[in-house]
Amino acid sequence: MMAEEAEKPGRQEASAETPGRMPGPELPDSQLELLRLAVQHAPLILSVYDKEFRFRLLMGGALGERGMKENQLVGLDAREVLKDNPELLASLEKAKQGHTHRWLGERTGVYLEAYVSPIFDGKGEFNGLVSMALNVTDRVKAQAEVLRLNAELEAKIKERTGELEEAIHELEAFSYSVSHDLRAPLRHIGGFLELLLKKSAASLDDQGRRYLGIISDSAKRMDSLITDLLSFSRVNRQERLSLRFSMAELTAQVIHDLDPDLQGREVEWTVGELPDAVGDLSMIRQVMANLLANAVKFTLGRQPARIEIGALAEDEGKNTYFVRDNGAGFEMKYYEKLFGIFQRLHGAAEFEGTGIGLANVRRIVHRHGGTVWAEGAVGRGATFSFTLPAPPVPKPAP
């Protein structure tokens, strides 16, 4: 090995069994000279030891950068030269037993990677060692730089994530506060409008009563908008439960709750087999309530309105549920707007709504680790699908 390898201990990293080697045929002088020139110019240090661990050869193009000369250590006992490096000496001893060892260590700021292998004579008996050491300083420093940059990137991501979470919390708090502050004056408007209509309706002409009706409807619509905003902002603050529940029972309850909106309408419900899901029951109730209410709303005028609720086979631990209708549908080129807050693909005069329901659906499903998507065509209905975690399959009894 090298004289400086006694300066600081390295560490042994790996070993592999190496069978005994038979010496190859002797090389002609021309090839020996070529081999010598190659080793002299190669960026490595080649060391050969006899069976007593004395240096027999030391050469290589990397000797100069270590401040050494060719064959400088020939005749010296490696165990004496490397006496303060027990790990490297141990790898030499193990190589004597027929193992090849990889050793990586640092010497005065230079990182070396060395491979130590045994030499066997024609009878298969141990006859010494050969080692090849490479200067891997640039590689080690590059790896360290990559690790440093990764650590900096992770720190920046963590910092930016914290700032983003703080901004989101502030925005949600602002939305919640504003919504509550707006609701009080709206209720005053609604209350005084009712009093005014009761007291002065007879003295107002048709145009006056129409104006009051417009004000009342606008106040109610804004109250609905505030309610939806509060629900939307509450999703991220609300602690999410994760329990198994019956999607079939949940769907039946939501359909029952929609009965008052179906008076005078012909609606055909088709409910397929719905597997149980895992999640927060109250949140998923909001999802189904929004999707089914939309299906009821956008099938207005259909005789009959057909609404189908079903599920697809479990895939990768998730169930896929869908709500399909034969209603107004939508143009797929506007799909990106579909789940955005305050985004509407139909005018308020055509279909009532606040443009928050589907945004709430997406946020809740995403919080459960699922996805939501839709397909539709104008005048040909729409299908809304979403995934939820499936209950774990029970293990068979032993």
Domain boundary assignment for the chain: 3-135, 167-237, 243-389
Whether 3-135 shares its CATH topology with 243-389 is answered no
**CATH homologous superfamily of 243-389:** Histidine kinase-like ATPase, C-terminal domain (3.30.565.10)
Both structure tokens of 19: 């069978």
- The CB-side HSE value for 334 (13 A sphere, CA atoms) comes to 13
CA distance 74 to 53: 11
Both structure tokens of 322: 């869908």
CA distance 370 to 366: 5
What pLDDT, on the 0 to 100 scale, is given for residue 12?
Answer: 41
Q: What is the pLDDT of residues 63-80, one digit of tens each?
A: 877 777 888 888 998 888
User: What is the overall mean pLDDT for the chain?
Assistant: 79
190 or 235, greater pLDDT: 190
Q: What distances in angstroms separate CA 331 from CA 27, 323, 335, 337, 345, one per listed residue? A: 81, 18, 7, 11, 8
Chain CA centroid to CA 68, Å: 52
What pLDDT, on the 0 to 100 scale, is given for residue 395?
Answer: 59
CATH numeric code, 167-237: 1.10.287.130
Q: What is the pLDDT of residues 212-231, one digit of tens each?
A: 888 887 777 777 777 766 76
Closest CA to 253 of 288, 208, 206: 288
CATH number 3.40.1190.20 is the correct assignment for the domain at 3-135? no
Q: What is the DSSP letter of 326?
A: -
Using alpha carbons only, give the angle 145, 151, 156 rounded to the nearest 5 degrees: 125
Instruction: Kindly report the pTM of this predicted structure.
Output: 0.50
Closest CA to 324 of 256, 262, 269: 269
Confidence of residue 254 (pLDDT cuts 50, 70, 90): very high
